[in-house]
Chain A
Amino acid sequence: MTEQTIDKATLSETPAPVIHVSPSPHLADQSLTTQRIMLDVVIGLIPVVAMALFVFRLYAVKQLAISIVSCLVAEALFAKMRGRELPLKDCSALVTGIILALSLPGPAPWYVGVIASFVAIGIGKAIFGGIGMNIFNPAMVGRAFVMIAFASALAASGYQDVNSSVDAVTQATPLDTFKQTGAVAPLSALFLGLTNGSLGETSALACLIGGIYLCIRRSASWEIPAGVISAALVLGGIANLADMDSGWTVLHHLFGGSLLFGAFFIATDPCSSPLTPRGKFIFGLGVGGFVMLLRLFSGYPAGVMFAVLLMNSLTPLINRWTIPRPLGAQ
């Protein structure tokens, strides 16, 4: 009897809850966090990783393990050096690690992945002030470093290991074969990804599946791959028309090399790409244009890495050019 009355009294007496006061808005889209965006990228990478594991077997396992572990260790180490909380939960280091591994050739020695990871996280990211402050794509900074440092391991010949038991690795990469001998890989092999190349770049199909998932989830802006692909189509088309005899058609340009992998997973890194939709499209066009220029006129068979880094450096300028016109502005 007493209990009941107490209960009633407390009920009517208590506006007991602690009331917070804060400026509006009071609602937030709770399903959307930085971590969730990064996880989306990981999910989008699943088909690519699966294809890499299928085609390159232990090579892919090795590179993925090395790069992911090194990136996480580097992230923890540099965060500690900077006196920051352990930022591993935002998963950005995981993404950097996977993308880095997928951009390396399978037979690359172990130290390549380790050094690339530390450079990616340390010089590509931590030095600028951590996630969000970096102006270059960390994975590509790491890859560029090892590419110059260990030229022989990452040049066209670094992809090939004649004595390997894994089929793909015994061949030269399709772009290199074409550059050297003019022989053209079958389009179906390029599309499915049964050729040699960087671990993640070979399968156009896997890149498309993962990439389209990312674009639908809006964790990657569709404007960037759209820009890359349209630039590649236009320039590849011109090259194709200029040299009709060459078997390397515009579709080979599209499906060969790391163009699609770069378009969907590397160029779309939000930190180092522009903010506005128009800026993103311009950025994509620039990446695609540079890739094609490098492919057609430079000694490098594939140029996604340099194209992305070049356009990264132009991102602040593009942001400045593409300040959107607000609704109703003159």
Chain B
Amino acid sequence: MADQPTASERFIQGILPENPVFRQLLGLCPALAVTANMKSAVTMTGAVLFVLFCANVITSLIRDLLKPHLRIVVFTLTIATFVTIADRFLAAYLYQMSKTLGPYIPLIIVNCIIICRCEVCASKQSVFVAGADAIGQSIGFGLAVSAIAAVREILGTGNFFDIPVLPAAWPDWVVMILPPGAFLTFGLLIGLVNWFETVKASSQASEVLTPAESEGS
């Protein structure tokens, strides 16, 4: 257990280095379905944060009691409970948003981010680490869906959080708020992330190489 990451490492990693959407390609269903505007993306992030945090904490608390072959059942049970709570809560206090998000809140149950974090982190590490991991991953998820939603909402409607940010002459790219826009934006952003990664890797590689080369000569 000595090589398990610490709480702060878990937190940091979730945000960018192991970003659930762009690096792990998990939770793509909401990333594509609820990113037509910032409001629903942020609400979705909130729901994910709530469910992930609760599920991680509960799983971590009972981690010593888990039987390996029953762990998925327990994860699913826990997740489903908190998803249902989140869903009811939205229906009660954010009725319009709950209608917009439609089936995607219940679908958090099968969102791989959560089951993945329970499996990878919470079932092995302490409550504190699991909680930090949940927050880190949720922030990462939030950043990713917000990035997609920002592009789609701004290009698609000229608005950001429903506030006009582009001049009225802006021709709305309706395609961006339609499903094809989600796929396009997502694909292009992943490409961008990978490109950054390659550039970073190659610059690091050349840094490593340079002293070796000078030694060689």
* A contacts B: CB pair < 8 Å: yes
Residues of A within 8 A of B (CB): 109, 111, 115, 123, 127, 145, 148-151, 153
Interface residues on B, range: 10 to 19
User: Would A109 and B171 count as touching, CB distance under 8 A?
Assistant: yes
CA distance in complex: A123, B172 (Å) = 19
Q: Which of B103-111, B138-146, B174-182 contacts A (4 or more CB under 8 A)?
A: B174-182
B173 at interface, CB cutoff 8 A: yes
Tell me what chain A mostly uses at the interface: helix, strand, loop, or mixed: helix
Specify the chain A residue showing the minimal Cβ separation from B178. Answer: A148
* A151 near B171: Cβ-Cβ < 8 Å: no
Roughly how many angstroms separate A135 CA and B213 CA in the complex, as a whole number? 43
**Contacting pair B174 A148 (CB below 8 A):** yes
The 8 A CB mask of B149-190 against A (1 = contact, 0 = none) is: 000000000000000000000011111101010001001000
Q: How far is the CA of A61 from the CA of B175 in the complex (A)?
A: 27
Q: Is the CB of B184 within 8 A of A150?
A: no
Cβ contact of B173, chosen from A109, A123, A127, A149, cutoff 8 A:
A149
Contact of B175 among A111, A127, A148, A153 (CB under 8 A): A148
For residue B190, give the distance in angstroms from its CB to the closest CB of chain A: 12
Distance between Cα atoms of A111 and B173 in the complex (Å)? 11
Q: How far is the CB of B36 from the nearest CB of chain A, in Å?
A: 14
For B178, list chain A residues within 8 Å (CB). 148
0/1 per residue, B175-215, Cβ < 8 Å to A?
Answer: 11010100010010001000000000000000000000000
Tell me whether B171 and A145 are in contact (CB under 8 A).
no
Inter-chain CA distance A151–B178, complex, in Å, is 12
Give the interface centre of B174, B175, B178 by most chain A CB atoms within 10 Å: B175
When chains A and B are docked, how far (Å) is the Cα of A149 from the Cα of B174? 4
Q: A109 vs B176: C-alpha distance in the bound complex, in angstroms?
A: 19
15 extra interchain contacts, Cβ-Cβ under 8 A, other than A109-B171, A149-B175?
A: A111-B171, A115-B173, A127-B187, A127-B191, A145-B175, A148-B174, A149-B171, A149-B172, A149-B173, A149-B174, A149-B176, A150-B171, A150-B172, A150-B174, A151-B174
Q: Across the interface, which residues of B come within 8 angstroms of A151, CB to CB?
A: 174
CA distance A150 to B155 in the complex (A): 12
Nearest B residue to A115, CB-CB: B173
23 contacts between A and B (CB under 8 A): A109-B171, A111-B171, A115-B173, A123-B184, A127-B187, A127-B191, A145-B175, A148-B174, A148-B175, A148-B178, A148-B180, A149-B171, A149-B172, A149-B173, A149-B174, A149-B175, A149-B176, A150-B171, A150-B172, A150-B173, A150-B174, A151-B174, A153-B171
- Chain A residues with Cβ below 8 Å from B171 are 109, 111, 149-150, 153
Q: What is the minimal beta-carbon distance from A277 to any residue of chain B, in angstroms?
A: 34
The distance in angstroms between the C-alpha atoms of A215 and B12, with both chains bound, is: 61
Q: What chain B residues lie within 8 Å of A127 (beta carbons)?
A: 187, 191
How far is B173's CA from A150's CA once the two chains are assembled, in angstroms? 6
A144 to B165 Cα, complex, angstroms: 26
- Closest Cβ of chain A: how far from B174's Cβ, in Å? 5
